[in-house]
Amino acid sequence: MARKRKGQPIHGWLVLDKPVGLSSTRALSRVRHLLNAEKAGHGGTLDPLATGVLPIALGEATKTVSYAMEGAKTYRFTVRWGERRTTDDREGEVIDTSAVRPTDAAIAAALPGFLGTIEQVPPQFCALKVDGERAYAIARDGDAVDLAPRRVRIDRFVLVGQPDPDHAVFEVDCGKGTYVRSLARDLAEALGTVGHVAELRRTRVGRFTADHAISLDDLAAMEQGAAVERLLLPIETALDDIPALALTEAEAHRLKHGQPVALITRQDRDRLKALHGSAGEDGAILALFAGRPVALARVEGAEVRPVRVLNL
């Protein structure tokens, strides 16, 4: 017999403003404890150094975490010029220095070279696996890690300002898998110097923004029921980029029981045509009944097949 989960069945998304010094896993655990939630997951890891938007999926929303992680992200970060560090952020040891401090004009000239789809080598201290072992564990033992370049997408990269000669503040909009620490490292190199990330804040993950976020302290100060009622975002918040299909009651019943729905009438063909024009590459859609999510599904020919049923 499966062991019963502890906690309340809470379904939806909460946007946490993660504090500095706390891992994403620890932050998730704190939220789950404060809300007494039965099940939880997060939509994209933040380093302990970083602060800002950490979407927390509760209950059935955990079935949509992969869609949140695919969403575009926005970061504001500060580069410290003149010091290269082992971790490419302020937590590492200094391994190289430079007296070169780039001007605003030099930075502006270099930034366009980082736009679009680019190749990026991840930091030595990262969670990627090399021969079954985490890269950071290998690097922590003093060994060099051979990490292959990865293709990432940078949509916007702007200089916000340079408060002093040693520091510059940037904002970047980027796609999944982008390492801001690598971006800072490579930009410094392109400018003829070295650098690392001194501060990092994420302000957006897909539709989840800092405007929706709450700190752990404020969450702890709220009554549990009030926190859920005021702060919880609907499950479909993470599914903004996939089309929705309205179902009849009979169709919803079939999907909920793991059965495909055949769309064969003339009216059904019109529904299918609209879906084929807007569904993602994997054919994913959100099936709804009476405005409530029923399942994540996939269009296959003239059928809609359930992928993850949402038990709400």
pLDDT in tens, 211-220: 989 999 999 9
Beta carbons within 10 angstroms of residue 243's beta carbon: 16
Residues 80 and 189 reside in one and the same domain: yes
**Whether the Cβ atoms of residue 182 and residue 30 lie closer than 8 Å to each other:** no
Residues 81 and 185 reside in one and the same domain: yes
Residues 84 and 229 reside in one and the same domain: no
Strand partners, 195: 81
Residues 168 and 77 reside in one and the same domain: yes
Strand partners, 246: 288
Report d(CA 64, CA 213) in Å as an integer. Answer: 19
41 found inside a domain = yes
Residue type, 298: R
Residues 262 and 304 reside in one and the same domain: yes
Residues 160 and 246 reside in one and the same domain: no
Give the 3-state secondary structure of residue 236: helix
Nearest CA among 62, 56, 9, 54 for reference residue 203: 54
Helix segments in the chain, DSSP class H:
24-35, 65-70, 104-110, 135-140, 180-190, 216-221, 224-231, 249-256, 266-278
5 found inside a domain = no
| DSSP secondary structure letters along 42-63 | ESS---TT-EEEEEEEEGGGGG
Residues 125 and 156 reside in one and the same domain: yes
Kindly state the tokens that stand for 27. Answer: 């932050």
**Whether the Cβ atoms of residue 87 and residue 123 lie closer than 8 Å to each other:** yes
**Whether the Cβ atoms of residue 245 and residue 303 lie closer than 8 Å to each other:** no
- Helix, strand, coil percentages, rounded to 5, for the chain: 30, 35, 35
Instruction: Give, as one character, the DSSP assignment of residue 145.
Output: -
2 found inside a domain = no
**What's the pLDDT score for residue 118?**
96
CATH number of domain containing 277:
2.30.130.10
Residues 63 and 79 reside in one and the same domain: no
What is the percent of the chain with per-residue pLDDT over 70, rounded to a whole number?
A: 85
Residues 102 and 78 reside in one and the same domain: yes
Q: Which domain holds residue 265?
A: 242-309
**What's the pLDDT score for residue 126?**
59
Domains contained in the chain, number: 3
Catalytic residue among 47, 88, 89, 186: 47
**Whether the Cβ atoms of residue 18 and residue 50 lie closer than 8 Å to each other:** yes
**Which residues of the chain, if any, have pLDDT below 70?**
1-5, 124-146, 264-283
Residues 113 and 142 reside in one and the same domain: yes
CATH number of domain containing 175:
3.30.2350.10
Residues 201 and 83 reside in one and the same domain: yes
Give the 3-state secondary structure of residue 233: strand
Active site residue 47: yes
pTM of the model: 0.88
Kindly state the tokens that stand for 108. Answer: 């502006």
